[in-house]
Structure 1
Amino acid sequence: MKLLLFIVFTFVILQCQGKPLDHSSNGYQRTMEDIKKEIAGYSEIAKEIINLAVHGKAQNRSYERLGDFVDTIGPRLSGSRNLELAIQYMYKALKEDGLENVHLEPAKIPHWERGEEWAKMVEPRNHSIAILGLGGSIATPPEDITAEVLVVTSFDELRRKSQDAHGKIVVFNQPYTNYKETVKYRTRGAVEAAKLGAKASLIKSITQFSINSPHTGAQSYEPGVPKIPTACISVEDAELMARMSSRGTRIVVTLRMGAKTYPDADSFNTVAEIIGSKYPEQVVLISGHLDSWDVGQGAMDDGGGVFISWEALSLIKELGLRPKRTLRLVLWTAEEQGGIGAEQYYQQHEANISNVDLVMESDDGTFMPTGLAFTGSAKARNIMKEIMKLLKPINITNVFENGGGRDIENWIENGIPGASLSNDISKYFWFHHSQGDTLTVQDPVEMNLCAAIWTVVSYVVADLEEKLPV
């Protein structure tokens, strides 16, 4: 009997190691004051990280690494040769950086290519229209599509003019409110136009600022609805046709798109770690997505997120730190097609979900940081607020609501705390999914600050004696 009690007692102790204590237990429960004191003890380490990232020999390193990467590889569309070259580039770089357990985890991802594409107004005058086909779009017929244009500002207006849509090219000239609200026209424009018999759809780019440059992105067809070619056009061309149409002018456009969809391609999520010293099976996951659209350089979306995530592990290793839990860097594949690589990673690792402490993703720019966005329990949020106080030397201590990202949403939906970088995105959608997404939009000083936040948060969470409470 004594032996049995000893075995049970030992099992309970082992189960509690590195985990939040049971609130219903009668044993000792750490108070928030205890946790505050523990976190305050990291102030000197946080200063070392900040000094190395912002002022020391590592300053500008994430920017310089990013520049070498995007200038060498270029854009990295799902299924493309460039994406596979990017994965091999990063695999080699992470190995050379001395990180641990560097490996590739397989995924099957979509493979679509835009091919030749152009559009031209042929009535009432000749005018070239800048277009970017939307991901997964079908091609136009070999003879192209030449049709009259119907301009609408909303789905409601399209339905009101349903009798006029058949056989037309529907042009959506929707007003921009914010990205989340306005992007529905890009994702569903082709479906709503096709329901009414349209031949194609052209959508005003989802941006509040334009220099005649269209923006691409994902769109979705719907079962049972005919597939029609669909592309984004510039703000200027959408508004030009809207003005002409409002005067009663008949507009005719010729559209050519050579898009092709191929069988799913083999790809990989790229992984590297700093293995934990005390609870190596427990994980703080830090991430960005390696793929991009096939325009620009993908420096902003999401090169910046990838390279500050790598920088976090580099800084920790360079300072000789080893947290209690494993810090795992994951560079996702095929995020732009709907988080495809991350979805497969989740399925492969879901069985170990109880070992995941925090999931972090940077995919909304690496401009001037404003704080951390967080999703989790009230107690976990209070802990994150204390951790962010460690960033006082750079005056970036805010904790906002709704932390997350497409690649980590499965973990968050199943109860794992999630965080994302909050930064000044006032100009983010000027360049998003366009030829303008190049290294020119990045700033090395801002990336240094982003890397400092990302490193302090990930290290401290990984090194606390207990996991974040869920």
Structure 2
Amino acid sequence: MKTLLLSISALALLGACSAQTATEMTKDAAQAADVMPERVVTPEVARLQKLARESTHAYDITESLTTEIGPRLAGTEEEARARDWAMAKMAELGFENIRNEPFMVPGWIRGVETAEILSPNPQQLFITSLGGAVATPPEGIEADIAYFPTFEDLKNAPMGGLDGKIVFISGRMEKAPDGAGYGPANQKRRSGATEAGKRGAAAVIIRSVGTDSHRFPHTGQMRYAEDVAPIPIGALSAPDADQLERTLDRGETVRIKLTMTPRAVGELPSGNVIGEIVGTEKPEEIIIISGHLDSWDLGTGALDDGAGIGIAFGAAKVLMESGLKPKRTIRVIAYGAEEIGLKGGFAYADKHADDLDNHVLASQSDFGAGPVYEVRSGVKGAAGNAVLKDIAKALGLPMSEKPTNGGPDIGPIFNKGVPAMRLQQDGTDYFDYHHTPDDTFDKIDPEHMAQNVEAWVTMLWMASEADTDFRE
């Protein structure tokens, strides 16, 4: 592997400009030279950053996980093999106090997934079940389409009137470096079956929650309300949603057949895999870096979240290789069962409830493998934020005014008072691949991975060495 030398500021600029023309990039580069903060680093930080830029740990670890294990659906044998892999990898890298903290999750297995337009223009559609969804009858459902351009249109529709129909909810997700369009677009995935079920629908199909134009549908977890009978729900690929919209725009009644046969399989084991670098002076004080080990079953979980595992493991390894000894304990967590409702995050918060006061700072890498372009704070106190600003200066990156909870699995402990921060990655293209068969290792850029490790190891060292209570 060639030596990786691009600086963190340069890679951040490349990520932010990934969708622009060469002329626009040149103009932005000139402007960035004036606005990007100047780096302020100690010799120790400079040493760590050089080692990180030259490292291939994150890239190699992600390759290992996605090649040797592949898809890792929560609760399955594949996720169990991933836990064994993680413990062996932590031992190989030299971590201490390696362990699995088990918990149980509701098991769900994907089945047959087919959809087709029966009339007026017969043809196949590409669809996938949403996580946790119930099945159609084995023979499928045939029904006319009731079309809602957005989720809000469905929510505002009168009760009744959809009896026996298959609801189609469209609505496009907007691209943004920080994925700001995901929350609004995700409402239809999360609650579409409930809203349609209230109104008598037989099933739901949605435009995938994604930003691509590939003929790959995006899966993801959905929810049923307890007081509404569950109905099947699946996601169409974006081109198939476009095709269905064009057909509907012709003003004819559109009838489709939908067959999806997922099934719930009862409680299954999952777990959080933990390894540590034990602190030299304050070993009881804990800094968490993490990713999540599970993935959806359509791709190999490279961007979501094999990259986060590689970055967290890789940053800790660079710190060990440097010979520097952190004052505080660095705890690396490979969370389980994130995709089906942050089960690993909640399990960790419950198990460690009596020790959360000793958790100094926490963060998670779970937004792909794009370059880090800013630092976000989930720290309330002035002293802690001063340290985060110093970390940003050491990276040559701006501090964002946008708050953070540190990442999905950090949320449960953040809500219980643990300070958090996030190294914000450029996710402009992340939702092109998210939860699809296209989330594979070839989407990982080794130079971006090394830049992420540079950012994370800088944060680890500076947060460990700071004589600061991040709660103040």
TM-score (structure 2 length as normaliser) = 0.87
Tell me what 2:167 maps to.
Answer: 170
- Match of residue 64, structure 1, among 47, 60, 64: 60
Q: Which stretch shifts more, 168-177 or 269-278?
A: 168-177
Q: Secondary structure at the match of 1:242?
A: helix
Q: Deviations over 1:419-446 (max 9, x none)?
A: 1221211101111111111112110000
Aligned partner of 1:182: which letter?
Answer: A
In structure 2, runs of 5+ residues without a counterpart are: 1-38, 175-180
Q: Which stretch shifts more, 161-170 or 436-445?
A: 161-170
Tell me what 2:390 maps to.
Answer: 386
Q: Partners in 2 of 1:161 and 1:246 — Cα distance?
A: 22
Q: Which stretch shifts more, 134-143 or 411-420?
A: 411-420
Q: Partners in 1 of 2:378 and 2:468 — Cα distance?
A: 18
Given the alignment of the two structures, is residue 439 of structure 1 paired with residue 438 of structure 2, yes or no?
no
Q: Partners in 2 of 1:467 and 1:454 — Cα distance?
A: 20
Aligned partner of 1:454: which letter?
Answer: W
Tell me what 1:236 maps to.
Answer: 239
In structure 1, runs of 5+ residues without a counterpart are: 1-39
Tell me what 1:252 maps to.
Answer: 255
Tell me what 1:402 maps to.
Answer: 403
- Tell me how large the CA RMSD over aligned residues is: 1.6
**1:167 Cα offset (Å):** 0.6
Q: Partners in 1 of 2:269 and 2:425 — Cα distance?
A: 34
**1:155 Cα offset (Å):** 3.7
Q: Secondary structure at the match of 1:454?
A: helix
Given the alignment of the two structures, is residue 111 of structure 1 paired with residue 115 of structure 2, yes or no?
no
**1:143 Cα offset (Å):** 2.4
Superposition pairs for residues 141-180 of structure 1, below 5 Å? 141-158=137-154, 159-160=156-157, 163-177=160-174, 178-180=181-183
Q: Partners in 1 of 2:289 and 2:60 — Cα distance?
A: 20
Aligned partner of 2:44: which letter?
Answer: I
Q: Partners in 1 of 2:173 and 2:326 — Cα distance?
A: 45
Larger-Rg structure: 1
Q: Partners in 2 of 1:62 and 1:408 — Cα distance?
A: 21
Q: Partners in 1 of 2:152 and 2:469 — Cα distance?
A: 49
**1:228 Cα offset (Å):** 0.5
Given the alignment of the two structures, is residue 190 of structure 1 paired with residue 189 of structure 2, yes or no?
no
Q: Secondary structure at the match of 2:403?
A: coil
Change beyond 3 A, Cα 1:135–1:359: same
- For the 8 Å contact 2:163–2:199, the answer to whether it is kept is yes
Tell me what 1:50 maps to.
Answer: 49
Q: Partners in 2 of 1:120 and 1:293 — Cα distance?
A: 24
- For the 8 Å contact 1:290–1:331, the answer to whether it is kept is yes
Q: Percent identity?
A: 32
- For the 8 Å contact 2:45–2:461, the answer to whether it is kept is no
Tell me what 1:368 maps to.
Answer: 371
Q: Partners in 2 of 1:119 and 1:276 — Cα distance?
A: 55
- For the 8 Å contact 2:40–2:394, the answer to whether it is kept is no
Tell me what 1:122 maps to.
Answer: 118
**1:115 Cα offset (Å):** 1.1
Q: Partners in 1 of 2:158 and 2:361 — Cα distance?
A: 49
Tell me what 1:416 maps to.
Answer: 418
Q: Partners in 1 of 2:57 and 2:138 — Cα distance?
A: 49
Q: Deviations over 1:375-412 (max 9, x none)?
A: 112412222101221223xxx35445222222111222
Q: Secondary structure at the match of 1:361?
A: coil
Tell me what 2:458 maps to.
Answer: 456
Q: Partners in 2 of 1:150 and 1:144 — Cα distance?
A: 18
Q: Deviations over 1:322-357 (max 9, x none)?
A: 211110001100001111011011111011111110
**1:246 Cα offset (Å):** 2.4
**1:166 Cα offset (Å):** 1.3
Q: Partners in 2 of 1:175 and 1:72 — Cα distance?
A: 35
Superposition pairs for residues 319-398 of structure 1, below 5 Å? 319-379=322-382, 380-392=384-396, 396-398=397-399
Q: How many residues align?
A: 425
Q: Partners in 2 of 1:390 and 1:43 — Cα distance?
A: 8
- For the 8 Å contact 2:381–2:470, the answer to whether it is kept is no
Tell me what 2:467 maps to.
Answer: 465
Tell me what 2:313 maps to.
Answer: 310
TM-score (structure 1 length as normaliser) = 0.87
Q: Partners in 2 of 1:271 and 1:296 — Cα distance?
A: 25
Q: Partners in 1 of 2:158 and 2:468 — Cα distance?
A: 60
- For the 8 Å contact 1:172–1:238, the answer to whether it is kept is no
Change beyond 3 A, Cα 1:321–1:306: same
Q: Partners in 1 of 2:41 and 2:358 — Cα distance?
A: 23
